[in-house]
Amino acid sequence: MILVIAEQDAGRPTALSLEARAVARATATAAGLPLEAVELDRDGAPPGDRAAALGRLIAVRRPLAVIGPGSDSATELLAHVAARAGLPLAANITALDVGGSGAGRPLQLTRQRWGGTLLEDATIEAGPALFTVAPHAVAAEPVGTAPEPLPVSLDVDGVAGDGLVRLVERVPMGTEGVALEAAPVVVGGGRGVGSAEAFGMLDELARLLGGTVGVSRAVTSAGWRPHREQVGQTGARIAPDLYIACGISGAVQHIVGCRGAKRILAINTDPDAPMVAAADWAVIGDLHALLPPLLEAIRDTR
C-alpha cells in the first residue's frame, strides 16, 4: 500500500497535498498497490503526538511508502516519525519509481538538493520509506480525481508524544487578502524598494492586480516587512501566474522560492542582475520612477 498525507485547510485539500497525491497515485499505479490517505487538519494535535500516532499506524499497516506534501508542517511531522521510528526519509522528491517486487522493493527517487539547484537520483532499500514532494515541482492532481484514495484515520488518543511541544493557543496569522502561496499575482519587493514606507506602492499594485506582496530576505532582515511574506529558500515557495520582482537582485536563495511562477517581470536598475536573466520580461530602470505612472495607468482603467 502507498500512504499519502493529505493536509486540509478549512476542509479542503491544500495545493501542496494535491501535488503529493499526484506522486503517490503515480507510484501506487506503477507498483500495482492500493492508495490510502491520512487526512490531517492543519489545526490539529502537536507534531510529537501526530508523529507517535502516524508511527503506530505505519508499524501496523507497513505501507511501502508514505508520501507527504512539501509543507513545513508535513516535513516536520515526517521528520519526527523518521527520527522516532528509525525510518528513512527523503525530502523534496520530484519523482518516485518502484523496482522489483514484494515488500522490500527498492524505491528510486529523484530529489531536489541545494535549494533546487541540483537534482539527485537515489535509491532507498529499507522501508517503510518516507517522502515529501518538492513544492510546485510536479503538477497537482485535480480536486475530485477518481478513485478517491481510501481514507485511513489517524488516532491520536492515548499516544505517548514526546511532550516537547505543547499546544497552548492558536493565533491566526492576520494575513489580509490573498495568501502568498495561492496568489495568482505576487508583487515582489527587495532592498531596492528602499524603505518600509515605499512598500505602499507595491501594496497598491498587488491590490489592483488581485494579488499580494512577497519580499526578499533583505527586506525582512531590515524589518520592513514580516517574515511570513518572505519568498525563497527560507520563506514561501510561490507559483503565481505572474511575479513582478521589484528591486530584487535574484540571489539563488530567492529564485528557489519563485521559480514556480509562470511568468516573471523584473524591474531593476541593473541589467546584469540575475533576476533580469531569470525573467521573461525586464524593465531596466528605477522602480520609484516607474511604479507611480504604472499605478496611475492601472487606476485609470478601473
Q: Which residues bind ligand FAD (CB under 6 A)?
A: 190-192, 216-219, 230-235, 247-249, 251, 253-254, 257, 267-270, 273, 286-288
Sign of the dihedral defined by the CA atoms of residues 174, 180, 184, 190, in that order: positive
Residue whose C-alpha is closest to residue 190's, from 180, 179, 202:
202
With respect to ligand FAD, which residue has the nearer C-beta, 31 or 255?
A: 255
SS (H, E, C) 218-283: HHHHCCCCCHHHEECCCCECCCCCEEEEECCCCCHHHHHHHCCCCEEEEEECCCCCHHHHHCCEEE
Residue whose C-alpha is closest to residue 37's, from 14, 68, 80, 6:
6
With respect to ligand FAD, which residue has the nearer C-beta, 141 or 224?
A: 224
Q: C-beta of 231: minimal distance to ligand FAD in Å?
A: 6
With respect to ligand FAD, which residue has the nearer C-beta, 98 or 273?
A: 273
Q: Decide: 244 and 265 in contact? Cβ < 8 Å.
A: yes
Q: C-beta of 52: minimal distance to ligand FAD in Å?
A: 31
Q: C-beta of 115: minimal distance to ligand FAD in Å?
A: 8
Q: C-beta of 281: minimal distance to ligand FAD in Å?
A: 15
With respect to ligand FAD, which residue has the nearer C-beta, 165 or 252?
A: 252
| Helix, strand, or coil (residue 8) | strand
Q: In this structure, what C-alpha cell is assigned to residue 273?
A: 542582475
Q: How far apart are CA 276 and CA 273, in angstroms?
A: 5
Residue nearest to ligand FAD (CB): 232
Q: How far is CA 7 from the centre of its chain?
A: 12
Q: C-beta of 122: minimal distance to ligand FAD in Å?
A: 23
Residue with cell 522490500: 104
With respect to ligand FAD, which residue has the nearer C-beta, 114 or 298?
A: 114
Q: C-beta of 212: minimal distance to ligand FAD in Å?
A: 16
Q: What angle, 0 to 180 degrees and rounded to 10, lies between the N-to-C axes of helices 199-208 and 287-300?
A: 30
With respect to ligand FAD, which residue has the nearer C-beta, 21 or 254?
A: 254
Q: C-beta of 193: minimal distance to ligand FAD in Å?
A: 8
With respect to ligand FAD, which residue has the nearer C-beta, 4 or 278?
A: 278
Q: How far apart are CA 46 and CA 40, in angstroms?
A: 12
